[in-house]
């Protein structure tokens, strides 16, 4: 359960599924993370109304069915293959290869996130570590309001993160932006079929660059995407693998379903329902509203949607809502398998289908597999198992539900993957 700390003290808590559903989708609800606004800048989750819609549409080209299919064929495959090449480099198949799951998934998902954001050349371990250090510091700055530290320490964390933006610009953003700007300029001079344009966020921004944008804005939006995609997906991957290890212990007959993407997607959604990647959702109302439970929110009131509780609402998810069941999403009446793990309403996670796949076939292009589904299946394919020599550790001081260490072993496949 969530211990939401001092940030939400005195705020009305919305805790039931029905209330959360209504208020997150209401047209009078606005984003509510005022503390991080100055640090983050006018990035997508900080916008509301027409500005928010316009930016979402600008970036939506990266998440269309065609874009996701291309991404899974090209970008994701290349990132996973180079991750495995490094993991297995110089090892033979006689011994299990030991690794730490949270740091391995972070390294892999840094490559993946860099491609989606539009940052090139994150192809060596050193570049990956360098980018990860910058992004982790950025996330610390962007979420510092959740930490139980003094105001002076909060300012220090934000200042440290801001100072790394210079290094991010020089070593990562500027070379990637230069390459993409050449392509966009060429296209604007000689308009042709735009299918050669990279399907990433940076290219989308350069295509629509506005003279009024602050010089810092592209840096902020790209860092926001890196932050939103890497840590969330890495945490979710570690959690579901842990849940599956436990599940297979009690249900060995389900091991045959390891290659079934629908079973894996069900497991991932269920794990996300139980283990959130954000402590809660903060919002503000612009008009008074009464919720189905009888709670009234006043105009201008900031409140917290405690999605950890809403996601375990027994009236929707059943009396066993606190436990993990990979088939829960198939039960009648459950329309949202991952509950509010990806939020709901206008700020619903834009990367949801990219992360977990599924959805309808559009224009003959089938539902995407999903980045996390693909990674989990590939990890299971190379025999990922808990390492009996170590024990997993959670961070007792974090508001986030996450493992900080999880020793595992992989087996090098005896034939080329």
Site for ligand HEM in 33-52 (CB under 6 A): 44-45
Among 122, 139, 218, 350, binds ligand HEM (CB under 6 A): 350
CA dihedral 331, 337, 340, 344 (to 10 degrees): -100
- Decide whether 56 or 179 has the Cβ nearer to ligand HEM: 56
Instruction: Report, in Å, the least distance between residue 192 CB and ligand HEM.
Output: 28
Site for ligand HEM in 212-231 (CB under 6 A): 225, 228-229
Which residue sits closest to ligand HEM, CB atoms considered?
A: 351
Residue 242: helix, strand or coil by DSSP? helix
**Binding span for ligand HEM by CB under 6 A among 182-190, 292-300, 309-317, 337-345:** 337-345
Nearest by Cα to 272 from 227, 317, 315, 303: 317
**Residue 204 in the binding site for ligand HEM (CB under 6 A):** no
Q: How many residues bind ligand HEM (CB under 6 A)?
A: 23
Instruction: Report, in Å, the least distance between residue 102 CB and ligand HEM.
Output: 14
Contacts of 41 (CB under 8 A, 6+ apart): 214, 216, 217, 220, 221
Place of tokens 């379903």: 257
Compose the 274-303 pattern: x for residues touching ligand HEM by CB under 6 A, - for all others: ---xx--x----------------------
Compose the 100-129 pattern: x for residues touching ligand HEM by CB under 6 A, - for all others: ----------------x-------------
Nearest by Cα to 19 from 232, 290, 255, 357: 290
- Decide whether 83 or 409 has the Cβ nearer to ligand HEM: 83
Instruction: Report, in Å, the least distance between residue 387 CB and ligand HEM.
Output: 24
Among 8, 36, 136, 232, binds ligand HEM (CB under 6 A): 232
**Residue 343 in the binding site for ligand HEM (CB under 6 A):** yes
Instruction: Report, in Å, the least distance between residue 156 CB and ligand HEM.
Output: 24
Contacts of 117 (CB under 8 A, 6+ apart): 200, 201, 202, 222, 225, 226, 229
**Residue 56 in the binding site for ligand HEM (CB under 6 A):** yes
How far apart CA 344 and CA 68 sit, in angstroms, is 21
Buried b (16+ CB within 10 A) or exposed e, 282-311: bbbbeeebebeeebebeeebbbbbbbbbbb
**Binding span for ligand HEM by CB under 6 A among 258-266, 288-296, 349-357, 408-416:** 349-357
Instruction: Report, in Å, the least distance between residue 260 CB and ligand HEM.
Output: 20
Q: Please report the DSSP string for 11-71 in residue order.
A: SEEE-SHHHHHHHHH-TTEEE--GGGHHHH-S-GGG--HHHHHHHHHHHGGGGSHHHHHHH
Among 272, 274, 304, 339, binds ligand HEM (CB under 6 A): 272
Q: Is residue 101 within 8 Å of 238, Cβ to Cβ?
A: yes
- Decide whether 84 or 225 has the Cβ nearer to ligand HEM: 225
Beta bridge partners of 285: 29
**Binding span for ligand HEM by CB under 6 A among 7-15, 92-100, 137-145, 336-344:** 336-344
Contacts 24+ apart (CB under 8 A), 169-174: 169/219, 171/130, 172/114, 172/119, 172/122, 172/131, 172/134, 173/119, 173/202, 173/218, 173/219, 173/222
Among 341, 369, 375, 384, binds ligand HEM (CB under 6 A): 341
**Residue 132 in the binding site for ligand HEM (CB under 6 A):** no
Residue 214 sits at φ, ψ, to 5 deg, of -65, 145
**Binding span for ligand HEM by CB under 6 A among 121-129, 186-194, 322-330, 341-349:** 341-349
Using only C-alpha atoms, what is the Rg of the chain?
Answer: 21
How far apart CA 265 and CA 326 sit, in angstroms, is 8
- Decide whether 16 or 224 has the Cβ nearer to ligand HEM: 224
- Decide whether 372 or 408 has the Cβ nearer to ligand HEM: 372
Nearest by Cα to 226 from 154, 144, 133: 133
Can you give the binding site for ligand HEM, defined by CB under 6 A? 44-45, 56, 116, 225, 228-229, 232-233, 236, 272, 277-278, 281, 341-343, 347, 349-351, 354-355
């Amino acid at each position: 359960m969530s211990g939401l700390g001092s940030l939400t003290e005195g705020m009305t808590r919305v805790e039931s599924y029905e209330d959360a559903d209504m208020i997150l989708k209401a047209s009078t609800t606005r984003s509510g993370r005022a503390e991080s606004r100055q640090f983050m800048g006018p990035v997508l989750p900080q916008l509301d109304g027409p500005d928010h819609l316009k930016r979402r549409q600008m970036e939506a080209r990266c998440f269309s069915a065609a874009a996701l299919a291309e991404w899974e064929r090209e970008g994701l495959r290349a990132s996973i293959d180079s991750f495995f090449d490094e993991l297995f480099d110089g090892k033979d198949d006689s011994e299990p290869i030991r690794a730490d799951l949270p740091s391995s998934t972070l390294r892999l998902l840094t490559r993946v996130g860099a491609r989606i954001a539009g940052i090139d050349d994150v192809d060596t371990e050193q570049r990956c570590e360098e980018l990860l250090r910058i992004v982790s510091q950025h996330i610390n700055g962007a979420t510092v309001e959740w930490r139980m530290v003094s105001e002076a320490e909060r300012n220090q964390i934000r200042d440290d993160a801001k100072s790394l933006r210079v290094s991010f610009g020089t070593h990562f953003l500027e070379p990637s932006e230069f390459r993409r700007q050449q392509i966009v300029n060429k296209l604007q001079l000689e308009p042709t079929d735009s299918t050669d344009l990279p399907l990433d966020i940076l290219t989308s921004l350069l295509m629509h660059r506005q003279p009024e944008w602050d010089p810092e804005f592209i840096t902020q939006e790209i860092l926001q995407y890196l932050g939103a995609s890497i840590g969330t997906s890495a945490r979710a991957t570690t959690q579901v693998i842990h849940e599956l290890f436990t599940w297979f212990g009690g249900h060995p007959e389900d091991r045959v379903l390891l290659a079934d993407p629908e079973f894996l997607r069900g497991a991932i959604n269920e794990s996300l329902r139980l283990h959130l990647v954000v402590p809660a959702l903060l919002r503000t109302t612009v008009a008074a509203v009464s919720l189905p439970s009888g709670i009234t929110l006043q105009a201008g009131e900031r409140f917290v949607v405690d999605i950890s509780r809403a996601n375990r609402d027994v009236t929707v998810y059943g009396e066993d809502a606190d436990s993990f069941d990979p088939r829960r999403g198939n039960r009648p009446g459950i329309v949202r398998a991952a509950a509010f793990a990806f939020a709901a309403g206008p700020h619903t996670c834009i990367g949801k289908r990219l992360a977990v796949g599924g959805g309808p076939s559009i224009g003959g292009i089938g539902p995407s597999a999903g980045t996390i589904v693909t990674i989990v299946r590939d990890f299971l394919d190379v025999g990922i198992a808990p390492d009996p020599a170590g024990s997993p550790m959670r961070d007792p001081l974090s508001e986030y539900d996450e493992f900080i260490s999880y020793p595992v072993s992989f087996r090098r496949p005896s034939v080329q993957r």
